[in-house]
Amino acid sequence: MKLKVCGMKYNPSEVMALGPDYLGFIFWEGTPRNFTGEEIPALPREIRAVGVFVDEAIPVLIERVKTYGLRAVQLHGKESPEYCSELQERLQKENPGVLIIKAFAIGPGFDFDPLKKYTKVCDLFLFDTRGPLPGGNGTVFNWEQLKAYPHKTPYFLSGGIGEKDCPKLLAFARTPQAALCVGIDVNSKFEIRPGEKNIDALKRFLECGIWKAKTKIAY
């Protein structure tokens, strides 16, 4: 199981030193976590820099990938399958190896069937909690809903996950619906302020045995 720490802004180098698998940098002006730095700290090869976008124009997104050396893009808006297909084609030509992660906000009665159109144009999904913002709402959705997930695309589990959720995560890792969960995405529950992560809290979270859980697919 992988760890993705999102919302990097004020102390990415400190978080990087903890050895997460993914670091997320948000490129959306609608959040105080919007990354405005001139460059991302040099990351070791084993850590992927992820750019988070919300309904961004594809040429702008591609330019961000080149400028910041992003190795994954996370789409947190209403991007259509057609948008993802065009982005996939552009990335394969200009930036091969960059992953496409499509986020979906889960709420009561969520229908997973429409996600089928995304399965061939996205590498990973990310399941977040439905809320007023595209992400970072700080609330947990009912993971039991993932029993209804019918597709084979691996996913990140996200949405208000904090230290107190370690026992729940360990229990989740033993369920059939966790077989395609490649990692856990954390953000707001590990912050001193938006964009500044609590290093001690992350260290304690990394002691959770969830990271030893094996998944079918490695990303």
The CATH number of the domain holding residue 193 is 3.20.20.70
Q: Provide the pLDDT confidence category of residue 211 given band limits of 50, 70 and 90.
A: confident
Pairwise CA distance, residues 89 & 167, whole Å: 41
Host H or E run for residue 202: helix 199-206
| Residue 217: inside a domain | no
pLDDT at 212: 72
Q: Provide the pLDDT confidence category of residue 134 given band limits of 50, 70 and 90.
A: low
Which neighbouring-strand residues pair with 126? Answer: 103, 156
pLDDT at 65: 97
| Residue 170: inside a domain | yes
Task: Quote the number of domains for the chain.
Answer: 1
pLDDT at 210: 81
| Residue 219: inside a domain | no
Q: State mean pLDDT over 168-184.
A: 92
| Residue 192: inside a domain | yes
Is residue 132 over pLDDT 60?
no
| Residue 218: inside a domain | no
Interval 22-40: pLDDT, tens:
999 999 999 999 999 889 9
Residue pair 43/15 in contact by the 8 Å Cβ criterion: no
pLDDT at 186: 96
Output the CA–CA distances (angstroms, integers) from residue 108 to 77, 135, 180, in the order listed.
19, 17, 21
| Residue 119: inside a domain | yes
Mean pLDDT taken over the chain: 92
- For the question of whether the overall pTM of this predicted structure is more than 0.85, the answer is yes
User: 3-state SS of the chain: helix, strand, coil percent to 5?
Assistant: 30, 20, 45
Is residue 162 over pLDDT 80?
yes
Is residue 18 over pLDDT 60?
yes
And the tokens for 24? 């997320």
Note down the domain range covering 123.
Answer: 2-212
| Residue 109: inside a domain | yes
Q: State mean pLDDT over 46-53.
A: 97
DSSP state of 32: T
pLDDT at 205: 94
